[in-house]
Chain A
Amino acid sequence: MNKVTLFLFFMIFSASLSGCSTTINNHQGSLYIQLGEEQGISRLVDSFIKELAKDKQVFPYFAKASVSHFRKGFINHMCDISGGPCKYKGDNMVDIHTGMNINEADFNRVVELLVKAMEKENISYRTQNKLLAKLAPLRSEVIKR
């Protein structure tokens, strides 16, 4: 392999490693702060609920849910997962989604609606990705249940 290519690959891979270590070493609180703490997260969840309500594809999954219960639970969960001073005490992810039979496409649609809500709340692309990275591991507890 040519030296230049090798160098570029090395750059990208080392950048990716340092990127990982920053996420781990940085105070877990930083994502919580980037999301605008409790107020910012509440606004984001409200925006997200509006997007869900407008969406024909995924709204049926939420039709029977209590909006206030979902809102409270998701704000609490986002606060916890972004390193804020909360401990998620809501229902277990598997229990919530059992019987809903959410497929891959609908899951991705919800991700897109969350991204749309984050854009509306002026959350930067990089912060969006960091939040998605925290939420992505939950997918196996959500789909095909």
Chain B
Amino acid sequence: MTIKRFLSCVFLILPTLCFADGKILATPGVSQIEGSGGGGIVPWAQLAGYASEDEIAASAFCSVANVKNFSLNVCGAQANLYDRVELSIAQQQFDVDPLNVTLKQDIYGAKFRLYGDLIYSNWPQFSLGLQHKRLKTADIAFALGAKEKQGTDIYLAASKLHLGAIAGYNFLWNATFRYTQANEMGLLGFGGKNSAAIFPELSAAILLSKHIAIGIEYRKKPDNLGLNESHWRDMFIAWFPNKHINLTAAYLDLDTIAGIGNQQGFYFSLSGQF
């Protein structure tokens, strides 16, 4: 199924649905680069969209990340069923400037809320998710030593928003543990010298107002290809003017990609919710 077909389905169904707005502004977060609801690079325990337990929500996004020698373009969509299940799809295009090639990958995601509510439960909200990745341009991945062109990440995420916790400002954190063997998120295939393992990913944010959040993220990644694959970091600011749209900008430090260091740059993302 192509993303265009998926999106046209979403837009056909939309008018028949009510606009889901059962959640507090900004609390679902934004869309991460693999299509799941989250921060920019980390999938969070919250489900995308404003659906509460009696509602269905749909959302779509496009993001662009430009670092020194690479750029990533990704568009995708999510459905939130009763704040219990999130289904997502994303198409990534990764431009490798030094080789003048574009790598393409499709990601199908599902996330299941196991327990809790970001704001109200005593314990954090917990979700279990998976991201099934299909690399469509596998030649470079295989040439670098990857074993597979498909892979599935499984993650457990916990998140909590603490009302008024930092001098009256709301504080949100998310911790995700991801079982993966993806190289550069899958764009350089799956596996290599090492087998799959668990890697931590962390996010922390402060809401400066009900419309603006600033925060940081960290994502540890495997180095299966022996190319010094490094962790990723970002600092972001997200703007939520209303429950239909949000904009995110971030400074990225992706360190070393495919053996080429100093990959810093900027990230912009736009999401729409229904």
A18, B166: Cα distance in complex, Å:
8
**A139 contacts which chain B residues (CB < 8 A)?**
120
- Residue from the list A2, A104, A129 in contact with B168, Cβ < 8 A: A129
Nearest-Cβ distance from residue A16 to partner chain B, whole angstroms: 5
- Segment touching A, from B19-27, B103-111, B138-146, B258-266: B19-27
| Interface of A, helix, strand, loop or mixed by DSSP | helix
> Provided the pairs A12-B206, A125-B210, A129-B169 are in contact, do residues A104 and B24 lie with their beta carbons within 8 angstroms?
no
Could you tell me how many residues of chain B have their Cβ less than 8 Å away from some Cβ of chain A?
Answer: 33
A126, B24: Cα distance in complex, Å:
16
A20, B165: Cα distance in complex, Å:
6
Residue of A with least CB distance to B23: A108
Residue of A with least CB distance to B204: A12
Could you tell me how many residues of chain A have their Cβ less than 8 Å away from some Cβ of chain B?
Answer: 32
Residue of B with least CB distance to A129: B164
What string of 1s and 0s marks CB contacts (under 8 Å) between B188-229 and chain A? Answer: 000000000000001010100110000010101000000000
A67, B164: Cα distance in complex, Å:
30
Interface set of B (CB-CB < 8 Å, partner A): 21-25, 52-55, 83, 117, 119-120, 162-171, 202, 204, 206, 209-210, 216, 218, 220, 231, 233
Can you list 9 residue pairs at the A/B interface with Cβ under 8 Å?
Answer: A5-B233, A12-B166, A15-B166, A20-B165, A105-B52, A108-B23, A115-B210, A124-B168, A129-B164
